[in-house]
A and B are shown apart, each in its own frame.
Chain A
C-alpha cells in the first residue's frame, strides 16, 4: 500500500504491506533505527514518536494510517549538530544508561512540554480551570508511559525540570 509521510522534514513515500506498523516502517523500511522496540504492544514507550505534534506509540499504529502526516523521530530532534535543549540536558544529568529507552523518553518529553505549555491537564492536575505548573508530580505522571529499566528516572526528570524552567 502506498503511503506518503513527512519524516523529520523529508517527504518519503513507501509501498508496504498493510500490516507494517509505523515503528517497523521507520526501522525496517527507512533505516531510522532511533525509534526503539521494547515491547511492540504499547506498554513501554520506547517507540514514542511525534505525529502531527502528538506523541504516540508508533508500535501500536499502522504506517498506512498516517498517510500525509508529519512525523518527528529522535533523529529529528537536533538542529544539525546542535542538540535540542532536552538532549543536552539528558547528557548533563545522565538521564540514560543503556540508552534503549532514551529516544522514546526524549520524544515523549519534547511533546509533553508542549502539552503542558498548551495548558493540557493530567491525571494529577487538581484544578482544571487554570493551567497547572509543571511540578515534579506533573512531570512524572505525564512521563509514566515511558519505562526505563535502568532506573534513570532521577536524571530524566532533572533534565526535563531544567528545560521546563527555561
Chain B
C-alpha cells in the first residue's frame, strides 16, 4: 500500500503537532556526524572493488574536431589498459532534473577543457602520466567566447510587461537606472566529482558523487543506451554539491563505459582543475535595473533586464528574474532576459540559481534608491512590500520579510549606524554597514519513501534521497521518530541508493519539504495500520515513548506488532498549491565591513542573518545551512570570480589557489536567527 498525496491546496494542518518536546524541530546533533569526525564516512571515490582500475579524463586544449594522434603509443605503455574515446561520452554534466543524456560525443570540442578521452591504467599514477603523454589536436574555426560576439538565442528569452513601465520611468520623480555585471562563478564543492563503476553481467553499479539519484539513474542509462533498471546508483555520502552534482557527470559515463569495455571495475576521479571545466558554472550576467519611485521611495515601476550565457545545446538560463516578479510592490513592471550562446564551459545551477546574482543586483539598486530618496534602506524595503503577488494577486503562503527586516535590524544594532558614508574611521580603516533582503522561491518535487517498523520497535527509513551536507539523515530520522513516537536513536535512515524508493534528491532546497513529507506519509500509513489493529481511527491514536495511547489505554507498540513488521510507503506529488499561492523564503542580512583606505582591502567584521524559511526541522543543521549561505554571499561580494580568457574563453583560474573561496580568516562569527514560520 502507498499513501499518495498531492498538494493541491495550501497545506496548513502542520502535522504532526509538536508538543514542543518531540524530536521534530529540536536542536539536535547531526546523526552522521560521528562518521564524519572519525573518517568512517565513505564518499564516492572511496570504494575499491577487487580488480579496480584507474581512469583519468583528458581535456581538450583547443576547440574543434579532436584528433588523438598517439593512442597506440600510449596504450603500449606498461600498465596502460585503454584509451577510450566513445560517442556515448558526454560533453559536460547534465542539467538538474534532465532525466536524459546531455550532449554526447567527444570527437569535437565545443569549449576548452572539454573531456575528449579517458585513459585507464593499473594505478592512478600510471593513468595520470599516460594522460599527460596523450596528444590531442583540435582543428576548427573560431567560435564566440565573448558576450559581445555571441548570438542571442530566440528560444531562451523571457519577457513580461505589466502596466506601462516605460511611461512610469519617463515620469518618475525619482529614477535609478543602473547596470551591473557579475562574473561566472563556480560551486567548487570540496569533494571532486568521482565515480566507481562495476558491472555484473548487464547490470551496472556505480558509486557517484551525485545530488539527485532518481534523475541521474535515467540520465546514465540514457547515455549508455540501457534501461534505468539496469543501473544502480549509490551515493551514501556526498562531499557537497551546490548544483554541480545535480546531473550525471563526465566521470560517471566514462567510468561505466571503460568498466564495460575492460570487464573490470573502474574509478574515475575528476582532478580539481577539471571540476572547474566539465561541470556547470554559474553564468556571468549583465543586468540593467530601473527603479521609479515617488520622492518617499514608494516604487511605481520596476525594470529588470538581464543577459546570461550558455553553451549551444544547453537548455538552462540562469533564472535572474525569478524573485523580481514578487519581491516589491509596483504597479508597472518590465522583466526581460536573454541568452547569448558562447563556447565557454556549460552554465547551470549553482547554489540559489538566479537569486544569488539576480536578487543581489536588485538589492544594490534598492540601496541606490535609498541614497537618492534619503530613506533608510530598511525602511525603504518595508515601504515597498507587497501584500499579494504583484500582477496576478496571488496570496503568499507566508510573507515574513518585514519581520526578518525588523528583527535583523534590532539584532544587528542598525540604528547605531551613521547614515552617510565615510563617517567612522579606525586607524587606516573606514567602517561601514550595509544590508540586503534575501528572497528565494520555494518548490516541492515528486518524492517517495518507505518506512518499516520492525518487531523490535525500531523504524527504518529508506529512500534514494541524498545528504550532501544538508542534514537529510538527521531530519528524516527526526520526522519518523516524531510520527511514530520513537526517539531518533530508534530510527535508522538509509539513503543514497536507487534500489530504494526514489526521493526528491537534493537541489533547489526541495529535499526537506518533499522527501520529508514522503517519510511523514509513509509513517501515516503505519499509524493507520496500528489504529486498525486496535479497532480505532488513526486520529484517536497517540504514539509516544514507544507506546500506543488511546484514551486511557496505553500499551507498548511491540506488543501490538507481535513479531510482525509494518511497512508504509509515502508518495508526494506537487499539486496545484504551487499555482494557487506564491511560496517563498525570506531573509535579511546585515554586515559591518572595514575597508582599508590605502589598499582597498575589505574585511567583513560582523554579519547577521535573520531568515523565515518555513518550519525548522532541526535548529542546529538549519543554522549551519544559513551560515553557509551567508559565507557564499560574502564570497560572491568579495572574493570569487571565474576568469575567462578573452581569446578562447578557457577558465584561467581553475583551481582553489586562483579561484578564491572564502577561508576562515575571511569570515567573522555569523549570527543567525531563524524565525518561526509556519503557513497559516
- A residues with a Cβ closer than 8 A to B are 17, 19-20, 24, 27-28, 31-41, 43-44, 46, 73-75, 77-78, 83, 87, 90-92, 94, 96-103, 106, 136-137, 139-141, 143-158
Q: How far is the CB of B415 from chain A (nearest CB, A)?
A: 25
Question: Most A CB atoms within 10 A — which of B125, B189, B190?
Answer: B190
List, sorted by A's number, 23 A–B pairs whose CB atoms are closer than 8 Å: A17-B125, A27-B46, A28-B123, A33-B43, A37-B269, A40-B271, A44-B656, A73-B39, A74-B39, A75-B38, A96-B33, A97-B470, A98-B238, A100-B43, A103-B37, A140-B664, A140-B665, A141-B664, A149-B240, A150-B628, A153-B670, A154-B627, A156-B664
Task: Take A20-B125, A39-B656, A157-B669 as given contacts and tell me if A149 and B623 are in contact as well, using a CB distance cutoff of 8 Å.
Answer: no
Q: How far is the CB of A102 from chain B (nearest CB, A)?
A: 5
Task: Take A140-B664, A150-B469 as given contacts and tell me if A75 and B39 are in contact as well, using a CB distance cutoff of 8 Å.
Answer: yes
Return the 5 tightest CB-CB contacts between A and B, nearest first: A34-B39, A151-B631, A100-B239, A98-B469, A97-B469
Question: Most B CB atoms within 10 A — which of A27, A106, A153?
Answer: A153
Question: Most A CB atoms within 10 A — which of B38, B39, B46, B620?
Answer: B39
Contact B48 A31 (CB under 8 A): yes
**Which residues of chain B are within 8 angstroms of A141 by Cβ–Cβ distance?**
664-665
Closest Cβ neighbor of A83 among chain B residues? B37
Task: Take A43-B656, A99-B239, A136-B669 as given contacts and tell me if A36 and B191 are in contact as well, using a CB distance cutoff of 8 Å.
Answer: yes
Contact B664 A151 (CB under 8 A): no
Q: How far is the CB of B473 from chain A (nearest CB, A)?
A: 11
Q: Once the chains are docked, how many angstroms separate the CA of A101 from the CA of B37? A: 10
Interface residue? B521 (CB, 8 A): no
Chain B residues touching A, majority SS: loop
Task: Take A24-B124, A144-B665, A152-B624 as given contacts and tell me if A94 and B30 are in contact as well, using a CB distance cutoff of 8 Å.
Answer: yes
Sorting the interface of chain B by its residue count into under 10, 10 to 19, 20 to 34 or 35 or more gives: 35 or more
Closest Cβ neighbor of A106 among chain B residues? B37
Interface residue? B36 (CB, 8 A): yes
Q: How far is the CB of A8 from chain B (nearest CB, A)?
A: 10
Closest Cβ neighbor of B633 among chain A residues? A151
Q: How far is the CB of A43 from chain B (nearest CB, A)?
A: 4
Q: Once the chains are docked, how many angstroms separate the CA of A148 from the CA of B661? A: 9
Closest Cβ neighbor of B34 among chain A residues? A91
Question: Most B CB atoms within 10 A — which of A33, A40, A154?
Answer: A154
Question: Most A CB atoms within 10 A — which of B43, B45, B48, B667?
Answer: B667
Interface string of B39-72 (1 = CB under 8 A from A): 1111101101000000000000000000000000
Interface residue? B621 (CB, 8 A): yes
Interface residue? B368 (CB, 8 A): no
**Which residues of chain A are within 8 angstroms of B667 by Cβ–Cβ distance?**
140, 151, 153-154
**Which residues of chain B are within 8 angstroms of A40 by Cβ–Cβ distance?**
271-272
Task: Take A99-B41, A136-B669 as given contacts and tell me if A36 and B271 are in contact as well, using a CB distance cutoff of 8 Å.
Answer: no
Interface residue? B278 (CB, 8 A): no
> Given A43-B655, A145-B663, 5 more contacts at CB 8 Å?
A91-B33, A99-B239, A141-B664, A149-B190, A150-B628
Interface residue? B242 (CB, 8 A): yes
Task: Take A100-B190, A151-B629 as given contacts and tell me if A144 and B42 are in contact as well, using a CB distance cutoff of 8 Å.
Answer: no
Interface residue? B32 (CB, 8 A): yes
Q: Once the chains are docked, how many angstroms separate the CA of A46 from the CA of B664? A: 14
Q: Once the chains are docked, how many angstroms separate the CA of A22 from the CA of B470? A: 31
Contact B37 A39 (CB under 8 A): no
Q: How far is the CB of A100 from chain B (nearest CB, A)?
A: 3
Could you say which of A17, A101, A155 contacts B627, with CB atoms under 8 Å apart?
Answer: A155
Contact B669 A46 (CB under 8 A): no
Contact B191 A98 (CB under 8 A): yes
Q: How far is the CB of A107 from chain B (nearest CB, A)?
A: 10
Interface string of B231-246 (1 = CB under 8 A from A): 0000001111110000
Task: Take A90-B37, A150-B240 as given contacts and tell me if A98 and B190 are in contact as well, using a CB distance cutoff of 8 Å.
Answer: yes
Contact B38 A87 (CB under 8 A): yes
Q: Once the chains are docked, how many angstroms separate the CA of A149 from the CA of B469? A: 11
Interface residue? B29 (CB, 8 A): yes
Q: How far is the CB of A101 from chain B (nearest CB, A)?
A: 5
Contact A147 B661 (CB under 8 A): yes
Q: Once the chains are docked, how many angstroms separate the CA of A142 from the CA of B442? A: 39
**Which residues of chain B are within 8 angstroms of A153 by Cβ–Cβ distance?**
627, 631, 662, 664, 667, 670
Q: Once the chains are docked, how many angstroms separate the CA of A94 from the CA of B670? A: 14
Task: Take A33-B42, A91-B34, A136-B669 as given contacts and tell me if A39 and B655 are in contact as well, using a CB distance cutoff of 8 Å.
Answer: yes
Q: How far is the CB of A77 from chain B (nearest CB, A)?
A: 8
**Which residues of chain A are within 8 angstroms of B242 by Cβ–Cβ distance?**
149
**Which residues of chain A are within 8 angstroms of B208 by Cβ–Cβ distance?**
none
Contact B663 A147 (CB under 8 A): yes
Q: Once the chains are docked, how many angstroms separate the CA of A154 from the CA of B590? A: 16
Contact B628 A151 (CB under 8 A): yes
Q: How far is the CB of A42 from chain B (nearest CB, A)?
A: 8
Q: Once the chains are docked, how many angstroms separate the CA of A68 from the CA of B615? A: 55
Closest Cβ neighbor of B656 among chain A residues? A43
**Which residues of chain A are within 8 angstroms of B664 by Cβ–Cβ distance?**
139-141, 143-144, 146, 153, 156-157
Contact A34 B38 (CB under 8 A): yes
Task: Take A87-B38, A146-B664 as given contacts and tell me if A94 and B624 are in contact as well, using a CB distance cutoff of 8 Å.
Answer: yes
**Which residues of chain A are within 8 angstroms of B48 by Cβ–Cβ distance?**
28, 31
Could you say which of B190, B468, B624 contacts A147, with CB atoms under 8 Å apart?
Answer: B190
Q: Once the chains are docked, how many angstroms separate the CA of A156 from the CA of B33? A: 13
Task: Take A75-B39, A150-B469 as given contacts and tell me if A144 and B663 are in contact as well, using a CB distance cutoff of 8 Å.
Answer: yes
Contact A98 B239 (CB under 8 A): yes
Q: Once the chains are docked, how many angstroms separate the CA of A40 from the CA of B123? A: 16
Closest Cβ neighbor of B468 among chain A residues? A98
Question: Most B CB atoms within 10 A — which of A17, A77, A139, A149?
Answer: A149
Interface residue? B181 (CB, 8 A): no
Could you say which of B37, B187, B661 contacts A87, with CB atoms under 8 Å apart?
Answer: B37
Q: Once the chains are docked, how many angstroms separate the CA of A40 from the CA of B275? A: 12
**Which residues of chain A are within 8 angstroms of B43 by Cβ–Cβ distance?**
33, 36, 100
**Which residues of chain B are within 8 angstroms of A158 by Cβ–Cβ distance?**
669
Closest Cβ neighbor of B125 among chain A residues? A19
Task: Take A39-B272, A75-B38 as given contacts and tell me if A94 and B663 are in contact as well, using a CB distance cutoff of 8 Å.
Answer: no
Interface string of B653-678 (1 = CB under 8 A from A): 00111000111110101100000000
**Which residues of chain A are within 8 angstroms of B271 by Cβ–Cβ distance?**
40
Contact A34 B125 (CB under 8 A): no
Interface residue? B380 (CB, 8 A): no
Contact B663 A41 (CB under 8 A): no
Q: How far is the CB of A161 from chain B (nearest CB, A)?
A: 10
Interface string of B443-471 (1 = CB under 8 A from A): 00000000000000000000000001111
Q: Once the chains are docked, how many angstroms separate the CA of A147 from the CA of B667? A: 11
